Amino acid sequence: MADVIKTATRDAYGKALVELGQKNDKVVVLDADLAKATKTIAFKKEFPDRFFDTGIAECNMMGVAAGLATTGYTVFASSFAMFAAGRAFEQIRNSIGYTHLNVKIGATHAGISVGEDGASHQCCEDIALMRTIPGMIVINPADDVEARLAVLAAAEIDGPVYLRFGRLATPRLFGDDYKFEIGKGVELKAGTDVTIIATGLMVNEALIAAETLAADGINARVINMATIKPIDKDIVIKAAKETGVIVTAEEHSVIGGLGSAVADVVCEECPVPVLRVGVEDEYGASGPAVEMLKIYGLTADNIVAKAKAAVALKK
């Protein structure tokens, strides 16, 4: 595995913004004093006239983004997930969501993998918050290839999109031929015994888990669900019908995130057990990112355990 490329999705975000900026002079980028961390600094260097730093004032930044969008710009507003979805929730809801303005919220440093900065910065609630906003699209890419494609796709949509990126460098999963479509889950591995539906950095863990399960004679299907809203109902229902049990995996609270979104579909359309891997109802803490992911159960091992428990329910 020495040749595995590891890149943080935030890096792909910064690069994709530059790519967009070259194609479209109506793309502008806002940040709230975190350009070096969110990687919007790449856009700032290339297009200083179209980059605006609002300073440490995320609520105002969201309003400014909305106002700019009314004048014909495609606006990317960036901060950490905690301060974008968290602090500025109501500004996003009222000034960007209710107005359905062309603003993309580029939220980096989502989840436990923020690491050493600890609980105040480890946002595990953002998917839950954003997916309750009518008309909001919520995307959590699994690697840098998908992150780039998600940014480009979001720019093509006339309306609000929440893009969730991570700080931690994670393995590249997809090749140049990978096709990304908003609202479509992607089956990465076929399987008949259980379906693992994962998002973000948990997709890699899901693929590792599937290999372990195979060794134990369990044939797991793996689905990458980058778009959490609108969720790909068809692929979820198909999985429920064909494999009978589902395990979800996300770097987010088990309350309100991917697990809840999948359960919403399954409960109404094809009730089968759904077991969730995610951050339990608790706060994060300081420590190296990889270690914290282990402590909070965001691992292939935990997916394996849940998958086995799910399969046992079928008997």
Partner 1 sequence: MDAAAKKQLKIKANKVRHGIIEGVYNAKSGHPGGSLSIADVMTYLYFSEMNVDPKNPKWEGRDRLVLSKGHTAPALYAALALKGFFPFEELKMLRKPGSMLQGHPSMKLTPGVDMSTGSLGQGISAACGMALGAKLSGAEFRVYAVLGDGEIQEGQVWEAAMYASAKGLDNLVAVIDNNNLQIDGTVSHVNSPYPIPEKFKSFGWNVIEICGDNFDEIDAAFNAARSFVGKPTAIIAKTLKGKGVSFMEDNCDWHGTAPNQEQYEKALAELDEELAKLEQM
Query: So which residues are the catalytic ones?
Result: 58
Q: How far is the CB of 87 from partner 1 (least distance, A)?
A: 11
Q: How far is CA 51 from CA 58, 78, 91, 117, 177, in A?
A: 15, 11, 20, 27, 31
Asked if 68 is part of the footprint of partner 1 (rule: CB under 8 A), the reply reads: yes
Structure tokens of 120?
């105040």
3-state secondary structure of 39: coil
Kindly indicate which of the ranges 36-44, 45-53, 172-180, 307-315 contains the residues binding partner 1, using the contact rule CB under 8 A: 45-53
Asked if 95 is part of the footprint of partner 1 (rule: CB under 8 A), the reply reads: yes
Kindly indicate which of the ranges 11-19, 63-71, 206-214, 294-302 contains the residues binding partner 1, using the contact rule CB under 8 A: 63-71
Cα distance between residue 141 and residue 267, in whole Å: 25
Question: Binder to partner 1 among 3, 49, 176, 177 (CB under 8 A)?
Answer: 49
Q: How far is the CB of 75 from partner 1 (least distance, A)?
A: 8
93, 122 contact by CB (below 8 A):
no
Kindly indicate which of the ranges 68-76, 171-179, 277-285, 301-309 contains the residues binding partner 1, using the contact rule CB under 8 A: 68-76
Instruction: List, as one string, the DSSP characters of 187-206.
Output: EEE--SSEEEEE-TTHHHHH
Asked if 287 is part of the footprint of partner 1 (rule: CB under 8 A), the reply reads: no
Asked if 90 is part of the footprint of partner 1 (rule: CB under 8 A), the reply reads: yes
Asked if 189 is part of the footprint of partner 1 (rule: CB under 8 A), the reply reads: no
Q: Is 244 left (phi over 0), alpha (psi -120 to 50) or beta?
A: left
Residue type, 198: A
Asked if 134 is part of the footprint of partner 1 (rule: CB under 8 A), the reply reads: no
Cα distance between residue 315 and residue 312, in whole Å: 6
132, 103 contact by CB (below 8 A):
no
Structure tokens of 134?
């009518």
Asked if 70 is part of the footprint of partner 1 (rule: CB under 8 A), the reply reads: yes
Q: How far is the CB of 80 from partner 1 (least distance, A)?
A: 17
Asked if 69 is part of the footprint of partner 1 (rule: CB under 8 A), the reply reads: yes
Asked if 159 is part of the footprint of partner 1 (rule: CB under 8 A), the reply reads: no
Q: What residue ranges bind partner 1 (CB under 8 A)?
A: 28, 49-50, 52, 54-55, 57, 59-73, 90-91, 94-95, 98-100
